[in-house]
Amino acid sequence: MGNDGGSIPRRNEMVREKKKDEKADRKNQAIALNFFCALSKQPLEQPIVGDELGRLYNREAILEYLLDRSAFGDGHTICENIQCLKDVKTLNVTPNPAALNSERQQANGGKKPALLSFDAQPTSRFLCPITMKEMNGNMPFEFIWSCGCVFSAQARKELPTSTTCIVCDKPYDLVDVIPINSQDSKVADELRERMRARREAREDKKRAAKSKSKPKSKRKLDVSGSVEEVNIAVAGPADAPLPSSPLASKAGVKGAKVQKTMA
Ligand SMILES: [Zn+2]
């Protein structure tokens, strides 16, 4: 291939090598993102949660982080968008029986699980329940923020007009479809924007619920109470009108009329 025996590598050979390296980097990155918790860097294990930016975590790691923000060193940089458990969604993932079997076999043989090795294409612990394709970073996967179901993007594209989740059948909004570990910066921007809007709506709902629970009706009663008091004063005895109040003097006139007819 050139670069041995003192020969100078040609440009196209260098470009080819660079492309090979980039491909290997992308593959390793896809494995890191889809097989490991973004926070603890431990293999993903159920229960798994996803955030609104499409990153995957072990729920246990997130709980630990929320209790102690310094538990994972750079946790505050990775999870700057996670302030409470409402900021993540527990995912409904489909286990891959092949991964379970191979892990069991390897454990029996004293080997470490294949997913901890970057040498070969490891077997994912999870797959798409529709296409049965593995969630290993080779093809895009998604989850729905409202129900948490995980599937391949291809599965949803096969049913483009469906407005209910292809796994649990619950209705969903298109803005709640979150691509998992997308490397596209445009997608990342879009997800951040949607996250901001979703959280604003959440705050609005909280504020509305708070103002609803305030005892407004009591204040209304007070108002009607004082109105009633005024009415009583107006219909009061005719011989005691308050000259400064036009209402009271009117009542006085009325009272006098009544007295006249009585006589
Ligand atoms: Zn669902």
pLDDT digits (tens, 9 = 90+) for 12-58: 888 888 888 888 888 888 888 999 999 999 999 999 999 999 999 99
Spatial neighbors of 138 by CB under 8 A, at least 6 apart, are 30
Spatial neighbors of 196 by CB under 8 A, at least 6 apart, are none
What distance in angstroms lies between residue 91's CA and the mean position of ligand 1's atoms? 9
pLDDT digits (tens, 9 = 90+) for 109-125: 766 555 544 556 789 99
Per-residue pLDDT at 152 exceeds 60: yes
The number of angstroms, rounded, from the C-alpha of 173 to the middle of its chain's C-alpha atoms is: 13
Per-residue pLDDT at 209 exceeds 70: yes
CA–CA separation, 44 and 129 (whole Å): 18
The average confidence (pLDDT) of the chain is 80
155-162: average pLDDT: 86
Per-residue pLDDT at 203 exceeds 80: yes
pLDDT digits (tens, 9 = 90+) for 48-99: 999 999 999 999 999 999 999 999 998 999 999 999 999 999 999 999 998 8
Tell me the sheet residues that pair with 158.
none
What distance in angstroms lies between residue 26's CA and the mean position of ligand 1's atoms? 30
For residues 110 and 100, the answer to whether their CB atoms sit within 8 Å is no
What distance in angstroms lies between residue 254's CA and the mean position of ligand 1's atoms? 73
What distance in angstroms lies between residue 72's CA and the mean position of ligand 1's atoms? 31
CA–CA separation, 31 and 111 (whole Å): 19
What distance in angstroms lies between residue 168's CA and the mean position of ligand 1's atoms? 4
pLDDT digits (tens, 9 = 90+) for 18-29: 888 888 888 888
Predicted local confidence at residue 255, as pLDDT: 39
| Domain locations along the chain | 11-201, 216-262
The conformational region for residue 92 under phi > 0 = left, psi -120 to 50 = alpha, else beta, is beta
Residue 11: CA atoms inside 13 Å, Cβ hemisphere, count?
Answer: 0
Q: How many CB atoms lie within 10 A of CB 159?
A: 11
**Token pair recorded at residue 17:** 């090598």
For residues 115 and 35, the answer to whether their CB atoms sit within 8 Å is yes
